[in-house]
């Protein structure tokens, strides 16, 4: 029998802004850091637009809003402090998006497996998913520091698929950003984009294969994309 046909199909999810709404905790940590540095905190409505490109970028944007620029060494120090504070408050307010658990249940019943490919640090990702009660549902949890490459490099997605025991010919990516869509395109894996995440531009700009506005729509979207490979 063809090994491809015996490999369970796999959905690879991004984390922040895709399956989990984490913005409140991310921004709270930024503001704790800024306040400690004697700078002005950023109102949430303004800071929300700064989220989505990773913690270092968020710190830089918060500093820039205070007319402060730091060198790489100082940025690394602030990043370490940010991560330490964030991990202590990993899920104070963070929650799974509506419909995520129901979607996972439905796909699991249909024989699908799951993985995470995020540009969040792997340790922080595991802490968050554990706090949200779903870490055990993923065959692999891969972060920005798991491999030598990260999204939008397609190799990060391909290595995540391999680590989860999947096959890229039977995999679908789900994300909310340009990095997610570009990684999928670069890996030649079909991609579904959610339109409620932390993208600075409308997700249709990045030309994903499908766009959904709620996790209740995910099964049908993935079913359409996976019709070219054997799912049973």
Q: What's the mean pLDDT in 63-88? A: 96
The pLDDT mean for the chain works out to: 94
5 — pLDDT class (breaks 50, 70, 90): low
- 168-202 pLDDT per residue, tens: 999 999 999 999 999 999 999 999 999 999 998 99
Give the residue with greater pLDDT, 6 vs 132. 132
The torsion defined by the Cα of 200, 202, 207 and 213, in degrees rounded to 10, comes to: 120
The whole-angstrom separation of Cα 168 and Cα 48 is 33
Cα–Cα separations (whole angstroms), residue 224 to 28, 84, 190, 207, 210 = 39, 42, 10, 16, 9
Secondary structure tally for the chain: helices H, strands E:
10, 8
List the chain domain ranges. 3-21+94-228, 23-88
Architecture of the CATH domain 23-88? Orthogonal Bundle (1.10)
Catalytic positions, written as ranges: 14
CATH for 3-21+94-228 is 3.40.50.1000
Per-residue pLDDT, 191: 98
- CB hemisphere CA count around 34 (13 angstroms): 24
Q: Beta-carbon neighbour count of residue 79 at 10 Å?
A: 18
């Amino acid at each position: 029998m063809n090994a491809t046909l015996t490999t369970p199909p796999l959905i690879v999810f991004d984390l922040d802004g895709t399956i989990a709404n984490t913005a409140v905790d991310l921004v709270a940590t930024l503001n704790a850091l800024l306040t400690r540095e004697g700078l002005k905190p950023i109102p949430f409505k303004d800071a929300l637009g700064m989220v989505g490109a990773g913690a270092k970028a968020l710190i830089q944007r918060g500093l820039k809003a205070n007319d402060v620029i730091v060198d790489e060494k100082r940025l690394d120090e602030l990043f370490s402090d940010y991560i330490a504070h964030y991990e202590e408050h990993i899920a104070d307010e963070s929650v799974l998006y509506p419909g995520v658990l129901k979607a996972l249940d439905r796909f699991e019943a249909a024989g699908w497996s799951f993985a995470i490919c995020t540009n969040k640090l792997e340790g922080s990702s595991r802490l968050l998913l554990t706090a949200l009660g779903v870490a055990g549902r993923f065959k692999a949890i891969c972060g920005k520091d798991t491999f030598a490459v990260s999204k939008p490099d397609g190799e990060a997605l391909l290595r995540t698929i391999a680590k989860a025991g999947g096959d890229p010919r039977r995999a679908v990516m789900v994300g909310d950003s340009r990095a997610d869509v570009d990684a999928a395109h670069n890996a030649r894996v079909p991609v579904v984009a959610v339109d409620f995440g932390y993208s600075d531009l409308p997700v249709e700009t990045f030309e994903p294969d499908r766009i959904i506005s709620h996790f209740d729509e995910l099964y049908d979207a993935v079913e359409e994309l996976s019709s070219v490979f054997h799912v049973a």
